[in-house]
Homo-oligomer: A and B are copies of this chain.
């Protein structure tokens, strides 16, 4: 029945916080800046959802996530004395989102899932971001869908529906895989099947959100290998 698995990426497949901290540290050392790397990563990420709001409501035309990441960095630059960094370094930092490290189970777990299903990235990240990240972290996508392909940011209904359409599949032939209850809620409302993956360390050791399923999803797992087991994929 299930033919394709659609994955949320930031937090579900990759550890964005670790990647941003890693690259922010390099910038901080280069410019001799002394700020909390964790706080920087969290504050940059905190601008993520608000920055898409005007696009979701159609007050603003669609722009890709790289553009929003750059604008969001601009917004928080002063708080971390980052106004002084040069353009090349700023662009390199924006592209940090293209170089995020995978959770340990992601590459091998995805390979197992790929042996039986189409595996697609259905992220808010743009095509080049997800492509470069896949090269960097060995993520073996069959297809990169996501906001730039479907023209809608999750959790807009069309973000899920159009992803299934692009694969020429009905919504109930697609399983949305995410570490975030709100993403799964959006997918379920459109008729997709759902899998919750616990990523209890996405926001660091004091994480409060998404520590358990908020409703009955079709699958609840601790990592991609558990999902592969439940979907009867070969070891």
Contacts and interface: CB of A to CB of B under 8 A. Distances in A.
Interface in A121-159: 126-128, 131-132, 134-135, 140-145, 148-149
A128 B166 contact: yes
27 contacts: A66-B168, A118-B131, A118-B132, A118-B135, A120-B131, A126-B168, A127-B143, A127-B145, A127-B149, A127-B166, A128-B166, A128-B167, A128-B168, A128-B169, A131-B142, A131-B143, A131-B167, A132-B168, A134-B142, A135-B142, A140-B140, A141-B142, A141-B143, A143-B144, A144-B144, A148-B166, A149-B149
Contacts of A128: 166-169
A167 B127 contact: yes
Interface residues of A, number: 22
Interface of A: 66, 118, 120, 126-128, 131-132, 134-135, 140-145, 148-149, 166-169
Nearest to A66: B168
Contacts of A118: 131-132, 135
Nearest to A169: B128
Contacts of A167: 127-128, 131
Contacts of A120: 131
A116 to B, nearest CB: 10
- Interface hub of A66, A134, A148, A166 (most chain B Cβ within 10 A): A166
A132 B117 CA distance: 10
3 tightest A-B contacts by CB? A128-B168, A131-B143, A127-B166
Contacts of A126: 168
A140 to B, nearest CB: 8
Contacts of A168: 66, 126, 128, 132
A166 B127 CA distance: 6
Nearest to A163: B127
A144 B118 CA distance: 13
A66 B168 CA distance: 10
- Interface hub of A127, A135, A167 (most chain B Cβ within 10 A): A127
